[in-house]
Chains A and B, each alone.
Chain A
Amino acid sequence: MTEERRGFRETLQKFTVKALKATIKGILLYGIYLVLTIFLTPVSEIVPSFQHTIETFVMIYICLMVVGELSAGTIFQHFLSAAKALFVIIYLIFALGNGVISVAFQNVNIVVNLRLFLVIAMLLSLVGFAKSMLQTINFLNEKAEPPHI
């Protein structure tokens, strides 16, 4: 009974630490987002959908990050990390298309070429995805290794 209680306490303690870590990371990321929003206000004034697009991205990214943190120490952490990297790639393609953004503002047409930014961001996401794959392989490797005597 005492063993069970101790085990439960340890599990609860671990989960609390994970939850705390996830909360801090989430708040930190959201804080960075809020700071960046201030700097991107001129863009949001010209492109109303810009704020919404970024907000949706940040929300989903934070959710994936929090769930990933909560599942730390399991194989799901690495799956979620890979999903996070894939999500960034897909969302970038969804939001930026071919990287050329055209916005009509009154009688003025503004075209911004973000191809370079898109390519670098996608390459970084691909590196992130590869890292997640390596982490998964490493995790499975460590699990499969016989215990040292």
Chain B
Amino acid sequence: MRIPIRMIGIATTFFWLFLIVFFVSAVYSVKDVRFDFEDPQMGLTADDKILFSLPMTIDNRGYYNIGSFNVTTEISDKQGYIITHGCTFISVIEKGGQTIATHNMIIDMNDLLQNSQDYLFNDTKLKVHETVGMELAEVIPVQISTNLSIHWGAPLYNFVLGEVEYATSNRTHLTVTVPISFENHAFFNLIGITEICMYNSTNASLGRGETTIEALQNAPYRGHIDLTVPMAGMTENGYFKVYYSTSFFNFGPLVFPYD
């Protein structure tokens, strides 16, 4: 009976050694794995949605392959509304190799504005939940997660219509000049069309005008829109309806009363 017992002892010792060496080397080889995240890039998808791309390079110089590598990003607002969700999955990162991938996230501004108009006019903080998961040596699952807070800059921050100026165009019509100003706090350049429709106190449409706006990111914008309106329809007060149309979103009407 001694020999079988001894054999069991040798076998368990061998398996213990294998287990410990494998575990330690798998953990140790993590230090030779490099994750490089390059600067995020922004673009437009074919259906005019904002596309965030985060190019990343995973350089696996460790002793083992890395399995089921995934990066998940979830951006939500203070109320918990999920603005965007992105997931990138790489089944195997070979040892001694370099893997290049792009983590994409798509933001649909029109969907966002349906949830709240505040995103257009007010800066706010957004919550980012970032999760990176992988299987070390393809058998030890590891998940790293963090919560971040990012700044959301409103593209039409402090949008106001200035003092309306009236000038005679001809005997029957007036030229109404409506100054517009705002600050583009967004991370993108705002290029689009602003359209203003003028109504009198009886809700009758008096005229409309539009202008092309080009507001660089983090820059103020000042411009004006000219409308030709009939004198006959003018009343002491009324309102303007403002519409925005950009490559990222369409929004309106926003009502501004005048008197």
Contacts and interface: CB of A to CB of B under 8 A. Distances in A.
Interface in A28-75: 36, 39-40, 42-43
A110 B15 contact: no
A134 B140 contact: no
B142 A39 contact: no
A116 B148 CA distance: 32
A120 B140 CA distance: 13
Given A135-B5, A138-B1, A42 B28 contact: yes
Interface stretch (A1-9, A10-18, A19-27, A123-131): A123-131
Interface residues of B, number: 29
B9 A117 contact: no
A112 interface: yes
B33 to A, nearest CB: 11
Contacts of B4: 134
B141 interface: yes
Contacts of B5: 131, 134-135, 138
Nearest to B1: A138
Nearest to B148: A107
Interface of B: 1-2, 4-5, 8-9, 11-12, 15-16, 19-20, 23-25, 27-28, 30-31, 139-148
Q: Can you list the 6 inter-chain pairs with the closest CB atoms, starting with the nearest?
A: A113-B141, A39-B28, A111-B143, A108-B146, A131-B8, A138-B1
28 contacts: A36-B24, A40-B27, A40-B28, A42-B31, A107-B148, A108-B144, A108-B145, A110-B142, A110-B143, A112-B141, A114-B140, A117-B19, A117-B140, A121-B19, A124-B15, A124-B16, A127-B11, A128-B12, A131-B8, A131-B12, A134-B1, A134-B5, A134-B8, A135-B5, A138-B1, A138-B2, A138-B5, A141-B1
